[in-house]
Amino acid sequence: MVFLKDGTLLITSGDGFSYREMAQELDNHFGKVIRVNDDGSIPEDNPFISIPGAKPEIWSYGHRNLQGIVINSDGSVIYEHEHGPRGGDELNIIEKGKNYGWPAITYGIDYSGALISPFKEKEGMEQPIKYWVPSIAPSGMTFYDGDLFPDWKGSLFISALVPGDVRRISLNGTEVIDEEILFNSLGRIRNVVSAPDGSLVLAIDSRKGKIIRVVPNK
């Protein structure tokens, strides 16, 4: 979940695994980003509010297993990442009313090795700004706007469960410039957040889990 600058709340909802085709339908919450006011009411400018049969809270659709959603420092860009099936994890820019394609288009295949779709792109369906094959199992995500690491300012940090690291995504607006792999000796990293003091905080997913604070070397 993430609050937008206008005070509305975005909530992500996965495709339910066995119901993936429903991600393309507007009469349900499977595979959707939904938007509500902070009192639970529906914003009047939601994209499908006047479509008969559509859930009025839907903001975007065609998603699979959404994991992380954040906004940039001025709130003008919404970043979301989601698990693909076997391959095809995605990093997307979320925009009002857009269709992100699952399962009609995908860069992944079924866990059995079978083809889910022969298509990687279709007219009217959004492309990810980055995808991963094989999967990295993205989990947490934060937009870094701190001052402790000035070279990292404006980057996305994505925690990855497989093989276990953090990906720093360098951005130029809405385009990915580079990907750097960090903290790859700690095991499965469930979440990464930017603390108010500019440090990074990592949540290690293990039997003896840890919280690790990252600061610059002195």
- Mean pLDDT value of segment 53-74: 98
Statement: the pTM of the whole predicted model exceeds 0.95: yes
Cβ neighbors of 29 (< 8 A, separation 6 or more) are 13, 55, 57, 58
The whole-number pLDDT of residue 139 equals: 98
Q: How confident is the model at residue 12 (pLDDT cuts 50, 70, 90)?
A: very high
The whole-number pLDDT of residue 218 equals: 77
Q: What class does CATH assign to 136-218?
A: mainly beta
Mean pLDDT rounded to a whole number for the chain: 97
- Mean pLDDT value of segment 99-107: 99
The whole-number pLDDT of residue 173 equals: 82
Question: pLDDT tens digits for 104-123?
Answer: 999 999 999 999 999 999 99
pLDDT over 90 (residue 17)? no
Question: pLDDT tens digits for 163-212?
Answer: 999 999 999 988 999 999 999 999 999 999 999 999 999 999 999 899 99
- CATH 3.40.50.1970 describes domain 1-131: no
pLDDT over 80 (residue 60)? yes
pLDDT over 90 (residue 91)? yes
The answer to whether the 1-131 and 136-218 domains have the same CATH topology is no
N- to C-terminal Cα separation, the chain: 35
- The rounded distance, in Å, linking the Cα atoms of 188 and 186 is 7
Question: Would you kindly state where each structural domain of the chain is located, as residue ranges?
Answer: 1-131, 136-218
Question: pLDDT tens digits for 130-174?
Answer: 999 999 999 999 999 999 999 999 999 999 999 999 999 999 988
pLDDT over 80 (residue 61)? yes
- Mean pLDDT value of segment 11-20: 93
On whether the CB atoms of residues 40 and 127 are closer than 8 A, the answer is no
